[in-house]
Amino acid sequence: MADQNCLISNDWICGEYVRTRGQELTDATLQHVGITLASVAIGLVIAFPLALLARRRQGVAGPVLGMTTILYTVPSLAMFSLLLPVFGVSQAVVVTGLVLYSLTILVRNIMAGLASVPEDAREAARGMGYGPLRLLLGVELPLALPALMAGLRITTVSTVSLTTVGAIIGYGGLGNLIYEGMHSFFKAQVLTASVLCVALAVVADLLLLGVQRVLTPWARKRRRA
């Protein structure tokens, strides 16, 4: 009975809300995760060749870094609004905007990671007859992983948070619930969605940290020694 009342009295914390709107919350969370995953994955796929290109040619590095920084400065609401005429009201607007934001940090961190590979390691690999591709995938990439993963974690966490702004066009995952709750002054909905959103960011961060531990076993051994 007390639980029933919390919906009527518009409490911040309401178990009845979570029970009755479970499906709505799940759908919003899934949309949120989907948008985040797509954005970060596409961001990574674009950032990697960009970073390689910028590393090879000094002339490319400046414009690439400058351009991504400028994109990063554009506020999210403006970014989504500017992409609206290009894609119409669709998930593509939000994903594209988030991809553009992710490039700034991903490109920088991949470049920093590759630059931190010791020249000795490269020399040794070349001496062992490694070609450029095998050198990149077998030696440079693993050694660049810590910086790359640091960038990936920052990007993922901020992407989870920025996805909420997509609510302006109805594709904001949990942001949609916050937007709706704002108009109807529905406190439980706003708080629950906000908490879920932060939880999502924390879980994603921890998952990536776990992936990094698994991918770089040598770092763990060194720490123990």
Partner 1 sequence: MGVIGEAWNWLATGSHWSGGDGVWHRLGQHLFLTFVCLAISCAVALPVAVLLGHIGKGGAIAVNISNAGRAVPTFAVLVLLLLSPLGSHGQWPTIIALVLFAIPPLLTNAYVGVSEADREVVEAARGMGMTGGQLIRRVELPLAFPLIMTGVRTAAVQVVATATLAALPGGGGLGRIITAGFRLTDTPQVVAGAVLVAALALLVEGVFVVLGLALDPMRRKTGRRSAAFRRPPADQAPKAPALTS
Residues lying near partner 1 in the complex (CB under 8 A) are found at: 65-66, 69-70, 72-79, 81-82, 84-85, 104-105, 108-109, 150-151, 154, 157-158, 160-162, 164-165, 167-169, 175, 178-179, 181-182, 185, 187, 190-191, 193-194, 197-198, 201-202, 205
Select 43 or 175, whichever has its Cβ closest to partner 1. 175
Q: Nearest distance from residue 178's CB to partner 1, in Å?
A: 5
Q: Which residue has the tokens 């009755």?
A: 20
User: Which residues, 6 or more positions from 136, have their beta carbon under 8 angstroms from its beta carbon?
Assistant: 52
CA dist 35 and 116 (Å) reads 32
Select 82 or 215, whichever has its Cβ closest to partner 1. 82
Q: Nearest distance from residue 215's CB to partner 1, in Å?
A: 17
User: Which residues, 6 or more positions from 96, have their beta carbon under 8 angstroms from its beta carbon?
Assistant: 83, 86, 87
Kindly list the distances between the CA atom of residue 120 and the CA atoms of 18, 174, 176, 184, 185, in Å, as whole numbers in the listed order: 57, 48, 52, 63, 62
CA dist 114 and 147 (Å) reads 9
Q: Nearest distance from residue 182's CB to partner 1, in Å?
A: 5
Q: Nearest distance from residue 30's CB to partner 1, in Å?
A: 17
Select 21 or 108, whichever has its Cβ closest to partner 1. 108
Q: Nearest distance from residue 132's CB to partner 1, in Å?
A: 28
Select 29 or 164, whichever has its Cβ closest to partner 1. 164
Select 44 or 125, whichever has its Cβ closest to partner 1. 44
Q: Nearest distance from residue 59's CB to partner 1, in Å?
A: 17
State whether residue 24 is helix, strand or coil. Answer: helix
Tokens matching residue 62 = 């400046």
Q: Nearest distance from residue 160's CB to partner 1, in Å?
A: 7
Select 55 or 187, whichever has its Cβ closest to partner 1. 187
Helix axes 58-73, 22-56, angle to 10 degrees: 150
CA dist 114 and 133 (Å) reads 14
Select 202 or 207, whichever has its Cβ closest to partner 1. 202
Contact status, residue 14 vs residue 189, Cβ threshold 8 Å: no
Identity of the amino acid at 214: V
